[in-house]
Structure 1
């Protein structure tokens, strides 16, 4: 399907170009895609698409997953996915990744794969302007289909990598899932075939076991190749036929059983706890047999469900805005489950000791909807939103990225989900949407909200175990709500103008055109500068943002909490509309507007279509000039925030994140973690005053617009809404708060958690020579180091899953850099792996990186840049960064020279300059029980 977040439907019949679609007939696959099946059963889908140009995306889809594993193969479907990158006929050992990196394809970010219960999918995006790379890409897909070598030595090396991947997933959620999963999945095969597998089997399985899985299931009748991109379809089809026709299915072919989760009709109750759980959560899950969306009738059911979900979500949003909200989060929806099932799921996360109140409030809204239904105005708004999204998708059909098409065809092959194309889908929706009635919505509730096949699940902190309700108590709560005398929902709609006071108009007083960059800079009568960059990257997308110096840096530590949280003011609405009314007002409009107040600046970011641009600008004007203050919603936000902090310290990742921030910020109050005491310092009146102060003077503000607009057409709107923003010409500047990472050599261990896993961060910090060339050199240093960390820590030592290097620079208030290394591992391996990582750092300082890794970086960076330059997001970020730093907009013209200047000698100097170890911080998260660790890692916090 074209729009994955929309479920399309058809009521009755639809006329399409003279044809009539019957409601019960399967919809035909989009004719723009070439499809076929070889005699051996291998399927292919090919589509020409030039978004982006000179690129193609290959996906190899396999109807193979962990569900097919025998008892002694648990985890080997996923293990097999890994082994496809560790040696094939034409790319022995790690040569495949090495070759692709040289071609500019990034491991993990571009080349990747995943394994689930029922499928394994490999992805490979490639450039098409080099025939050799394209041909080798097809060869790689052929090798992935059935030419993995599965060498025993490579299998043994990969064991450690996968065990480390498994280690990363350990924690409260995984431990609780192990408890409730079997019953929730009705003791089905899915409950005992978790894709990551079991540690015992991963450590000890024989190579013959994985080879047996491979021979049985990696076969052409269960595989499809999807190719979408800037390619010749006829030529690609012939190549696929020649490359894949000789694949053969096993002689003793096993039946590919389609497993499902059986519906027993029984109701079940489970309560599980964990010491690291941060809140109490209750779920009511009512399971149903799923239907695949293949016909017009299926589409009608799906769209009706989606409209129901939208309307119910809006009601829960209103409930959460009460002064004393009944829950931290609450909601309900019809959604996909797994194993051939859908579900209606209601969930609630609550403050400590308020589970009864929270669950009753969630069930009460469900009961209200079930008893009285929805209103006509609610349904109209849901339809407007749905229609608007479809119209937007239709307008962008010539700019649809190849990945979007790939996802459609994946669903078509793996799940049998219809993919008729956006033109057909739009016409179906256009005809069907008006015919969906309130009675149809009522049928959704009658169908899904039942008293059988229901699971009630409670997850809570261990310390609350004794006070949790049993099944009888929960059922009693639900029955009490169902017996209440409820009133129907009242849909209150505001019909006033958005703005309390409509602006007149200012004017453009200066206009300068940069023909080279196709950028027009306007100066408005109130002093605002507007930078306009028209593009054709999207057919109907306009992005804009603004900034002005100041931010929270201008306020004292005593006022900091109010200043830092002044950004909640827009959540109260704007102009004549509170938040609930504003949400309704914006129905059917493609608009997003978000003011912000950062540490050194304040501004706004927004996105719109051409049709909705004036409303978007009007809303931005309202947020900046007519903010609202809402005591009730403020109390709601504070109460929920306090409750969310009650058990936050249970989570090791939160503790580590807060510790890292505090240490790097020298324990400045603006860098330490959130606390209830800090929330209590937030004063609504003060936050409101600060918000208004931050946007009281637009004369120092710069707006940037990027997208599908015409300069002359947009100017009157800018004069009406931006040129009239208030201007006092104060000429404010952000304050240097003097917050810097500590100097010298620092090592700290943070002890939290029970799982045997460690998280490591190594950081180098200091002053930076802020030039485009130096930034590019540092980026290259980071990338070449990451390549080596991947090769050594993962491939050679099998000690980590995803090691990473990162680098950031800032010009203001002082030019600084942060350079770091991060990975997770077994606690007993921390010292060894840190030593290996630092050894690679030292090699950079003594020898510089290998030329081959620099070549990989240059290829990857150039390929990424080619596509980035044709996106609105990249230009928005680039222009904003240049403008805020006071750097020339034409600096991107120096890219080639800066890239060419990178060589082993230059990066050696950069490493010596910035990785000297003069300011070095080692931070490690370790489990609380660390008695088995070497003495060197048991340092006190």
Structure 2
């Protein structure tokens, strides 16, 4: 659901639009002509993508149909309707969203809950695949399904047709859904919602949008008459406000014929109301509001400067979006640099020119203040904005930003034949709902290629002056109640801005190093031996220094290479006294430079490159993770070598981390969810520091020198590291990097293992009730813990238990009892340091319902223990697994997880080839056996969060 939340609104940056080829365009900046042209004018409209079949039926219904085979044998269908909460009358508040729910609870061809049941039998996951959302101006339904099943494909289209106009809206189902929507509403209550209710009328200029949040009101959801919902459906669910978008592995002509057959009979009532276009008006004044809440955990300051919306329909307008992107990139790079200083003025900050709502664009600047230092953070943010206003950006900053955007465009073009159907769907959805551009991959690449060289630094600086102005500006502050005394009033905030505007602010100095990352090239080693892993088209290599490398070349992407490495050990090798330094060591190194480049120099060096490499140290291992394209491989391997042989923890990076950590944890005790989580951990692990949130006292124990020493110890011996590399490379292409960098890593052959720290949950379960929070809502977490028989068969049956129980809990707690919005079972198993499992069910609900819902949950668990799951539910789990595996097998990230995980757990890396055979062997009895073995009443831990007791 599209609901504006604090902070998030500040990151509404412009989308990366697609565009068209430009053979010759006249582009003028001032009086200077950049490119001579004779075919296209500067105001040439952006053409529509010719690869999609579009049309409009006589009743006004529109369609977009495109063939795309990524993924193969799949199709994604969306039904878009230009109907949202903005159209509701006072009596209908919340009904656009309620109607979205009802379209899953009884359709002409799928009565009651048969829709979800039918699609689950086809392997479609409710929530993950089958879903919908309601916004202010639209409601959108989504259905990704297999396209290799003709009957399923026909029925998928029938679902879309029923969604368009054939919801049954029975009295019984409406009443059942009231409780579910109320629980969704209850789940969103808290500090964010309470503050939002205060600042939203200011942010939305008291327009209709400010009192039409899609979730609605409790009173109306409880009490609206049935006829009111049916009338809303009759008035607005009509073909002139609807479009279907179909992208996937399909026959376009056949699909178009079916769309015409199914949707041509949709009717618009003769007395249908006019679809008004609502706007947020510009008030031509400045506004201010500061709101506090005792459960807010940090202080946020936000400037929103509103402007008339700029649609992107022409080459000129597209070019302006590029200028916006360059401006955003450069300014955010400066703010990021400032946030990494030894004593950062704020925890984080971001600025963006982008779309807003209701016919407006906005310049948004937001920062998260350190406790008690709102003034410092506010002034620092304004000072950076004014620094740009006074001096502009530098040419080197400009070049880096343009280079980054160019790289993104090039990567999109390289991967164009691997582009997922969902991406196309979203483009056409935006075209229908927002009148946004939708042009071809080829055109997009050509337009970027032609226009980026025409952008000038002068224009970007002028753009900033156009958007960063002193009118139509909102100042919004959200803070913990404890920070109230540190917040300004409107006059004080204005005075701060005025004072900074009158300062003589020094120009920004862009410090860029010309040094290479590594002081010298490493001495190369060799590949000592290799062996094929034919079953999964992989190869295992052993280098001369002992490093093991697992290679899996793929064609799933044209230019994506994933890299992962691990070594046993981790923080388990260190005492409690060293724990905090060990736990932070890799993050501190990752926040610093490498070799001859400091933090900022390294970030600038990597600008315009499509790669990222990061070290980590976990409890039982240390390693490297990252990705690169072919062009960036040399840099990626240099970084890997540097993280082993030339790491650093810079003073600024260390002090910045300490300052930010203190700031982020200062007010967390006001957050009910934090207090609840902390209480669970305390009761399970008796305050063990390795299972506790970091405290102020713990922060003081982080030692910079010791952290670096520990890091160097962890990465001193590469001989027990296993690197896994998956993606678009050949062995011939990757071998030089393996020999030059990985085979050159230091090796001491120390042969160490991670330690068993003996940190386990109690053998006997208990109940723990925590009281924290103002809202009348409850959270229940039911967990089973214990020893486990870790093996392939047991793991698969445990996963099946998770799947079938999730199905049953949704049916019982949500659909039958209307007690929750969402719930799920979650199984987790571990092989090391010893075989253990956890199995958890959690949900949020009303305070007066949690006991009954816990009883219902345990009843469903006991049914599986006594009788096993229903065969129908087990088949749903199996088909879902099969359908998901079809997709996963064509993803680099899946294979990275499979291979690296198998080596880390010392398992057979070819197991996935037997998975479907083992899946078929799962039975009702085998799942029942696992449930009886592990879900024992004496090992049940009940954790309950309730609101504060009224004193």
The equivalent residue for 1:566 is: 585
Q: CA deviation at 1:4?
A: 8.0
Offset of residue 19 of structure 1: 9.9
Distance 1:445 1:4, change over 3 A: closer
Instruction: State the Cα deviation string for residues 177-215 of structure 1 (Å, max 9, x = none).
Output: 101111221110000100000000000001100001100
- What does the per-residue CA deviation read over 1:223-271, in whole Å, with 9 as the maximum and x for residues that have no partner? 1100000000010000000000011111112111111100010111111
Q: Contact conserved, 1:662 with 1:673, CA < 8 A, in 2?
A: no
Q: Is the 8 A contact 1:10 1:297 kept in 2?
A: no
Please state if 1:550 is matched with 2:569. Answer: yes
TM-superposed CA distance for 1:752, in Å, is 1.0
**For residues 53 and 11 of structure 1, what CA distance do their matches in structure 2 show?**
29
Whole-Å Cα distance in 2 between the matches of residues 64 and 10 of structure 1?
31
Of the structure 1 ranges 290-299 and 260-269, higher mean CA displacement relative to structure 2 is found in 290-299
State the partner residue of 2:560. Answer: 541
Aligned mate of 2:680, from 660, 669, 675: 660
| Superposed displacement of residue 894, structure 1 | 2.1
Aligned position for 2:33 = none
The answer to whether 1:117 aligns with 2:136 is yes
Match of 1:785 in 2: 805
Q: 2:18 touches 2:441 (CA, 8 Å); kept in 1? A: no
The corresponding residue for 1:329 is: 348
Could you tell me how far 1:428 is from its partner in structure 2?
0.6
**Which residue of the other structure, out of 756, 762, 769, is the alignment partner of 2:776?**
756
Deviant stretches of 4+, over 2 Å: 3-16, 18-23, 463-468, 657-667
Find 1:69's aligned residue among 75, 85, 88. Answer: 88
Match of 1:724 in 2: 744
Which segment is superposed worse, 141-150 or 915-924?
Answer: 915-924
2:732 aligned counterpart, secondary structure: helix
Match of 1:424 in 2: 443
Give the whole-Å Cα distance in 1 for the aligned partners of 2:552 and 2:486. Answer: 60
Which residue pairs with 2:396 in the alignment? Answer: 377
Residue in structure 2 matched with residue 367 of structure 1 by the alignment: 386
Counterparts of 1:14 and 1:223, CA distance in 2: 38
Which of residues 891, 901, 924 is equivalent to 1:871?
891
Over 3 Å counting, the alpha-carbon distance change for 1:744 and 1:19 in structure 2 is farther
Q: CA–CA distance in 2 between the matches of 1:918 and 1:881?
A: 32
Q: Which residue of 2 aligns with 1:886?
A: 906
* Residue number among 336, 339, 343 corresponding to 2:362 in the alignment: 343
Please give the alpha-carbon distance, in whole angstroms, between the structure 2 residues aligned to 1:663 and 1:705.
Answer: 41
Write the mapping of 1:134-213 to structure 2, written as runs, cut at 5 A.
134-213=153-232
Post-superposition CA distance 1:57-105 (Å, at most 9, x none): 0000011100000000000000000000000100000000000000100
- 3-state SS of paired residue (2:272): coil
- Residue correspondence of structure 1 range 560-709 to structure 2 within 5 A: 560-567=579-586, 568-709=588-729
The reply on whether 1:514 has 2:533 as its aligned counterpart is yes
Q: Partner of 1:835 in structure 2?
A: 855
Q: Distance in 2 between matches of 1:170 and 1:162?
A: 13
Q: What aligned pairs does 1:190-339 form with structure 2 within 5 A after superposition? A: 190-339=209-358
Shift in Å, 1:888: 0.8
In terms of mean alpha carbon deviation, does 379-388 or 646-655 score higher?
Answer: 646-655
Question: What's the C-alpha RMSD, in Å, of the aligned pairs?
Answer: 1.5
Q: Cα gap change, 1:14/1:413 in structure 2, threshold over 3 Å: closer, same or farther? A: farther
Within 5 Å, give how 1:825-864 maps onto structure 2: 825-864=845-884
Quick check: 1:394–1:426 contact (8 Å CA) kept in 2?
yes
Which residue pairs with 2:764 in the alignment?
A: 744
| Separation in structure 1 between the aligned mates of residue 25 and residue 834 of structure 2, nearest angstrom | 65
1:90 to 2:109 alignment = yes
Shift of 1:284: 1.4
CA positional deviation for 1:502: 1.7
SS at match of 2:865: helix
Structure-2 separation of matches of 1:14 and 1:828: 69
| Counterpart contact for 1:331–1:362, Cα < 8 Å | no
Equivalent residues of 1:11, 1:432 under 8 A apart:
no
Of the structure 1 ranges 253-262 and 5-14, higher mean CA displacement relative to structure 2 is found in 5-14
Q: Deviations over 1:414-445 (max 9, x none)?
A: 00111111210111111110111011101211
Is 1:6 the equivalent of 2:16? Answer: yes
Alpha-carbon separation, structure 2, partners of 1:582 and 1:835: 56
Q: Residue in 1 aligned with 2:489? A: 470
Q: Distance in 1 between matches of 2:344 and 2:912?
A: 50
Contact 2:826–2:839, Cα closer than 8 Å, also in 1: yes
- 8 Å CA contact 1:508–1:525 kept in 2: the answer is yes
Structure 1 residue 5: Cα displacement:
4.7
**How far, CA to CA, are the matches of 2:22 and 2:935 in structure 1?**
68
Residue deviations 1:708-762, cap 9 Å, x none? 1001221111000100110000001000001111111210011111111111110
Q: Secondary structure at the match of 2:535?
A: coil
Specify the alignment match of 2:61 in structure 1: 42
Q: Work out the CA distance in 2 between the residues paired with 1:12 and 1:896.
A: 50
Q: Is the 8 A contact 1:11 1:435 kept in 2?
A: no
- Which of residues 453, 456, 460 is equivalent to 1:434? 453
Per the alignment, in what secondary structure is the counterpart of residue 547 of structure 1? strand
Equivalence for 2:820? 800
1:464-506 Cα shifts (integer Å, max 9, x gaps): 3244211111011111111111111111110101102321210
Q: Tell me how far apart the structure 2 counterparts of residues 14 and 599 of structure 1 sit (CA, whole Å).
A: 59
Deviation at 1:663, TM superposition (A): 3.1
Partner of 2:7: none
C-alpha separation in 1, matches of 2:318 and 2:266: 37
Q: Distance in 2 between matches of 1:309 and 1:218?
A: 39
Distance (Å, rounded) in 1 between the aligned partners of 2:166 and 2:44 = 40
Equivalent residue number for residue 419 of structure 2: 400
Q: Which residue number in structure 2 is paired with residue 938 of structure 1? A: none
* Partner Cα separation in structure 1 for residue 299 and residue 24 of structure 2: 48
Structure 2 residue matching 1:328: 3-state secondary structure: strand
Which of 105, 127, 130 matches 2:149? 130
- Report the CA distance shift for 1:11/1:319 in structure 2 as closer, same or farther (over 3 A): farther
**Contact between 1:11 and 1:23, CA under 8 Å: does it hold in 2?**
no
Give unpaired runs (5+ residues) of structure 2.
1-12, 27-36
Choose 458-467 or 43-52, whichever is displaced more: 458-467
Q: Aligned pair in 2 of structure 1 residues 53, 15: CA closer, same or farther (>3 Å)?
A: farther
What TM-score, normalized by structure 1, do the two folds share? 0.97
Counterpart contact for 1:48–1:230, Cα < 8 Å: yes
By how many angstroms is 1:898 displaced?
1.6
| 1:781 Cα deviation after fit | 0.6
Residue 47 of structure 2 aligns to a residue in which SS?
A: coil
Aligned partner of residue 224 in structure 1, secondary structure: strand
Query: What residue in structure 1 maps to residue 42 of structure 2?
Result: 23
For 2:764 and 2:308, the matched residues in 1 are separated by 62
Give the C-alpha shift of residue 904 in structure 1: 1.4
Q: Kindly indicate whether the alpha-carbon contact (under 8 Å) linking 2:324 and 2:353 is maintained by their aligned counterparts in 1.
A: yes
Aligned to 1:939: none
- Aligned partner of residue 341 in structure 2, secondary structure: coil
Distance verdict in 2 for CA 1:372–1:8, change over 3 Å: farther
Change (3 A) 1:126 1:12: closer
Shift of 1:46: 0.5
SS in 2 for 1:294: coil
Between the aligned partners of 2:259 and 2:19, the Cα distance in structure 1 is 35
CA contact (8 A) 1:145 1:223 kept: yes
Q: Deviations over 1:318-374 (max 9, x none)?
A: 111221111112232212221111111122221222111111111001000011110
SS at match of 2:761: coil
* Shift in Å, 1:9: 7.6
Q: What secondary structure is seen at the aligned counterpart in 2 of 1:745?
A: coil
Distance 1:82 1:401 in 2: 27
